[in-house]
Amino acid sequence: MIRVLVVDDSAVVRKTLARELERDPEIQVVGTAPDPYVARDKIVQLRPDVVTLDIEMPRMDGITFLRKLMYYQPMPVIIVSSLSAQGGRLALEALQAGAVEVVCKPGSAYTVGDMSVELIDKIKAAARSKVVRRTEPEPPVIRATRCQALTRTTDTVVAIGASTGGTQALQRVLTSLPAGAPGTLIVQHMPEHFTRAFADRLNELCAVEVTEAQDGDSVVPGRVLIAPGNYHMLLRRSGARYQVQVKQGPLVCRHRPSVDVLFKSVARYAGSNAIGAILTGMGNDGAAGLREMKDAGARTIAQDEASCVVFGMPREAIAAGGVDHVLPLDRIPQKILDLAASREEAVTV
């Protein structure tokens, strides 16, 4: 049983979350708390495996509480926040403070049923995640110089998929890429609005241009497109030009956006011109798609277990036979560049 503590100032939300979570036989809600002070005492008393945490609460905001918790008693924390642009910025701040996942509260565009399915999956992932004590803030990332000219169509397309722990992993990968890196497409399991805040944050830090994808965006060197939350992103090709399609559709591998949807489209339209990478995350989203990419001639990479927050998606991709290289996170950016360069050399020869 995974023992969960629900922290939210709304009695209705606490009751709803507890009821929905306990529908799963693997989860036990051991308690609820209306604010961080009550939560602190219940954490000491009940020793939960996972905490769900609202951001805006009385007496102490959720991010301040999270920072204290990650210093004194680190444990997996999932942010359950409102679906808004402001909520996205705060949730991103919480992820940087040590939260492992973000889920939207139910609303007009997000039903209780949708939320409960996603939250249960994320609780199970969080219970298996590696959590480290935060003794001080992460070191600042130096802003790199961005390339100004992005007019040439790329020959190589990079596709990356990630879930639990992926926001930090993607930041480390993208901040290591030079301004002229191959055009890159990313699916990170993250709710609507949160992906915009995430892309904006990365754009401030990276030499490449990072944006939330819009339907019809071109894939060109120096540009990274992140699939918007609640929308699938696919690669399309028109002559020599690559572009993305952003659209609704059913959940795939219980996700929208889905890594499999992206990878399978890249296998079809880019083939041997592509590089695929699958990073930390729970479940099997991306495993079948990465195998299709490899079968189509793409070069493929998986993050190794030691550097993953959750070694789920990479493990499934390796088991499916879709991975050429298994590497620690800090070696993946250079491997992407090396594979892209080796392909260009082969084409030239």
Instruction: Identify the CATH number of the domain in which residue 66 sits.
Output: 3.40.50.2300
Query: What is the per-residue pLDDT for 36?
Result: 95
Q: Return the SS3 of 204.
A: helix
Q: Would residue 226 count as lying in a domain?
A: yes
* Whether residues 215 and 102 fall in one domain: no
CATH of the domain at 344: 3.40.50.180
Query: What is the per-residue pLDDT for 153?
Result: 41
Structural domain containing residue 75? 2-127
Instruction: Enumerate residue ranges in the chain where pLDDT < 50.
Output: 137, 139-154, 347-349
Query: What is the per-residue pLDDT for 109?
Result: 53
Query: What is the per-residue pLDDT for 113?
Result: 73
* Whether residues 162 and 271 fall in one domain: yes
Q: Would residue 152 count as lying in a domain?
A: no
339-to-208, 242, 345 alpha-carbon distances in Å: 18, 19, 10
Q: Would residue 132 count as lying in a domain?
A: no
Query: What is the per-residue pLDDT for 257?
Result: 96
Region of residue 253 (left: phi > 0; alpha: psi -120 to 50; beta: else): left
Q: What is the pTM of this model?
A: 0.88
* Whether residues 56 and 203 fall in one domain: no
Closest C-alpha to 300, from 291, 308, 309: 291
Token match 């399978």: residue? 264
Residues annotated as part of the active site: 163, 189, 285
* Whether residues 166 and 123 fall in one domain: no
Q: Would residue 149 count as lying in a domain?
A: no
Q: Would residue 148 count as lying in a domain?
A: no
Amino acid making up residue 196: R
Domain count, the chain: 2
Query: What is the per-residue pLDDT for 349?
Result: 38
Query: What is the per-residue pLDDT for 96?
Result: 87
* Whether residues 70 and 198 fall in one domain: no
Query: What is the per-residue pLDDT for 150?
Result: 35
Q: Would residue 194 count as lying in a domain?
A: yes
pLDDT in tens, 311-340: 999 999 999 999 999 999 999 999 999 999
Query: What is the per-residue pLDDT for 52?
Result: 96
Q: Would residue 135 count as lying in a domain?
A: no
